[in-house]
Each structure stands twice: as C-alpha cells, then as structure tokens.
Amino acid sequence: MNSQPGSNQQSPDEPVNRDELLDMIHAKRGLPPGAETPSRPARITHHEIKALKTTTTMKANTPAAGMAKIIGGIIGSITGIFGLLIPSKRTDKATRCNLNGHVYPRNWQGDYPVCTHCGKQITNPDEFRSKG
C-alpha cells in the first residue's frame, strides 16, 4: 500500500479510499469521522433577485407608507422653519485667530500691534500664535 515503509503517502498507481480521505479531512478540520461534508448554500439567480426587488417595492408603496412620508415631510418643514427663526446661542463665529492665536505683524507702529489676519488690536502677549 505505501511506497516506502514508514511513510504515509500512497503511490499514484494505488486506488484511493474515499472514506479514509474524508476522515482525514474531517480530522484536520476538527469534525467527527464519518460526518457529511458541509454543502454550499444554493445560489440565487438573477430572476429571483428581480422578483424579490419588485415585491419589496410593492410592499413599500402601501397607503400607510405614503401617509407616513407626507407627515414626516410636514413635520420636518415646520421644524426647519422654527429652527431658522430661533436665534443661535453662539454670538461669534470661530475664526483661525480665535482658535490658534493672532499673527504678529512684521513691523508695527503705535501703542499696540494689529493682527495681520483679522485686523484686531492685540493687547495681551498670550493672544499671539505660538511658534511650535
């Protein structure tokens, strides 16, 4: 049966026992010997996919779904209108200078320097942008 004593390989001329081969594969995969090979799920065809899509869209076109869309649109519009009428709590917009600090001018005259980006007068040295 074996081509050499002590080796587990069969010669190509000898017939292969299918059950032994399946048992070795199952042992490698951690399945019990004699178990059936797991089968692949059946593939779905193009026509079946089209049929599923059409039935799904038909179910979505019910009168209740249409009314829910209309009511949702009306509520969204009213919320948007009131959102525009209520003033925001934020008074000033965040600018680069407010977030990162002001840019020191190259040459300035007068009592205080003026930021080159926003034009604000800088009175405190902590308002400058850090070099790092």
Q: Which of 10, 33, 8 is nearest to 22 (CA)?
A: 33
Instruction: Report the distance separating Cα 114 and Cα 120, nearest Å.
Output: 6
Q: Are 77 and 71 in contact (CB under 8 A)?
A: no
pLDDT digit of tens for each residue in the chain (132 aa)? 444 544 556 566 667 777 788 788 878 877 777 777 667 778 888 988 888 887 666 666 678 888 888 999 999 999 988 888 877 666 566 677 777 777 877 887 778 888 887 888 888 777 777 765
Per-residue pLDDT, 1: 46
pTM above 0.85, yes or no: no
Residue 116, amino acid: T
Per-domain boundaries in the chain: 95-132
Q: Are 10 and 3 in contact (CB under 8 A)?
A: yes
